[in-house]
Amino acid sequence: MSDLVIDSSALLASIYNEPGGDKVARILAGAKMSSVNVAEVFTKLADARRLSDEFVETFSSLGITVFDFDISQARKAAELRPLTKHLGLSLGDRSCLALAIQLKATAVTADKEWANLTFCPVDVIR
């Protein structure tokens, strides 16, 4: 199995027991994530008043390696904008894809719009 980079939508599906979330739960240990996507997850949980020290500790124990969003990933995310604008991909989406490209990994997402992307492997969980 190739390396896996988890998008925030995939992790949120696991947290909220949504369709495909069980698949994500099985692959979290050893997965990778952009710090941008971690911020997105924490923000969604804060909006729902579910972000707590306990959750942050639990997240830290999942075995996900978090990569800082660096200048190389920022450039790649910007370069992906013209290729993905028609799909409405956000900066968070493109940061996940940029990390997956950098690591030569598979991006894991719940966003069906990613299914036809050809510049990196994508696993759509539902």
- CATH code at 70? 3.40.50.1010
What is the three-class DSSP state of 108? strand
- Classify 88 in phi/psi space as left (phi over 0), alpha (psi -120 to 50) or beta: left
Give the structural domain span for 80.
Answer: 4-124
pLDDT tens for residues 110-126? 999 999 999 999 999 99
- Nearest CA to 109 out of 86, 118, 94 is that of 94
Closest by CA to 26, choosing from 17, 34, 37, 14, is 14
Query: What is the four-CA torsion angle of 65, 68, 71, 75, rounded to 10 degrees?
Result: 60
**Reported pTM:** 0.94
Helix (H) or strand (E) run with residue 33 in it: strand 32-34
**Total of domains in the chain:** 1
- The tens digit of pLDDT for each residue in 55-73 reads 999 999 999 999 999 999 9
39 bridge partner residues: none
